[in-house]
Amino acid sequence: MAVDYSALKAGGFMRQKQKDNFSLRLRTVGGTVTAEQLRTVQAVADEFGEGYIHLTSRQGIEIPFIKLADIEVVKKRLAEGGVETGVCGPRVRTVTACQGGRCCPSGCIDALDLAEKLDARYFGRELNHKFKFGVTGCQNNCLKAEENDFGVKGGVQVAWKEDACIACGVCVKACRREAITLTDGRITVDEQKCNNCGRCNRSCPTDAWDVTPGYLVSFGGTFGNSLKFGEELLPFITDEDTLLRVADATIDFFAENGLPSERFFKTLERVGIDKFKVVVTKAYNGED
């Protein structure tokens, strides 16, 4: 019987250079794997692989050296232990995230929660080429948002509260963008310089800032054969519904305009990023 390699690839089985061996990619979201899932992975790697796993560059796990003949039983064993197989090929890949908001004190948004929502909405969706989502909790960018086709970075919009300020001057220095000036006891923020990092508020001894958390989105990043930073095309997004509308519009645009085997940034270059900007701006504004 002929082996349908592309179906196997779609199901996370990556053909190895060693004949009839596959490196099995697992489904992970935001780099989170439960201890129970790990025990299952361990058992499968011991029994059907070579007793080790590989951690991929995008927070995934692969179990190498799974034999062609064992594929069905391996899938069954994993499913029983709450582990799903991943995907490869032209579709939405693993959604990555940092621990922002949940564990990391710098987090402006719950990056993992958002990654789970994006995964539930898009994971595995068939497209013209691979498509990557990544979510990072703040400007420290541990998760490197701009290397993704759709990168989300948490941030905060800050507004100074005069009543609470003691004019101590700490925020002026805490800001790495030199966006804050303190003159005669009054704070001003240069919005052109501000990158929504929230360091002013975090360092302020009297919490003299109103903060509105939200998202900065970058489009069309890639870090493979070509290197390209995703571009921010929209203003700061302050609610999740708007973010998801923008994500829907982005995926739909790629599905409609992309050519087979064309990465998103190539589509943007060919079709024109201005045309795409019009589309996502409409989604941002909630217009059809």
Partner 1 sequence: MADYQITDRVDITDVVCPVTFVKAKVALEELDEGDILSVHMNDGEPVQNVPRSIKEEGHQILKLEDNGDGTYDLIVRKVGE
Contacting residues toward ligand HEM, per CB under 6 A: 98-99, 103-104, 142
Q: Is 104 in the site for partner 1 (CB under 8 A)?
A: no
Bridge-partner residues for 62, per DSSP?
A: 25, 54
Whether the CB-CB separation of 234 and 284 falls below 8 Å is answered with: yes
Size of site (CB under 6 A) for ligand SF4: 41
Of 202, 223, 229, 271, the residue at the interface with partner 1 (CB under 8 A) is 202
Residues composing the chain: 288
Q: Is 196 in the site for partner 1 (CB under 8 A)?
A: no
Q: Is 32 in the site for ligand SF4 (CB under 6 A)?
A: no
Q: Is 244 in the site for partner 1 (CB under 8 A)?
A: no
Q: Is 118 in the site for ligand SF4 (CB under 6 A)?
A: no
Whether the CB-CB separation of 79 and 12 falls below 8 Å is answered with: no
Interacting residues with ligand SF4 between 142 and 161 (CB under 6 A): 142-143, 158, 160
Q: Is 105 in the site for partner 1 (CB under 8 A)?
A: yes
CB count, 10 Å around CB of 212?
14
Nearest residue to 208 via CA among 175, 164, 247: 164
Q: Is 255 in the site for partner 1 (CB under 8 A)?
A: no
**Range 193-197, long-range pairs (CB < 8 A, 24+ positions):** 194/158, 195/139, 195/155, 196/108, 196/139, 196/155, 196/156, 196/157, 196/158, 196/236, 197/138, 197/139, 197/155, 197/156
- Both tokens of 225, joined, read 């054969």
Interacting residues with partner 1 between 108 and 147 (CB under 8 A): none
- Site residues (vs ligand SF4, CB under 6 A): 98-100, 104, 106-107, 136-138, 140-143, 158, 160, 165-171, 174-175, 177, 179-180, 182, 187, 189, 194-200, 204-206, 208
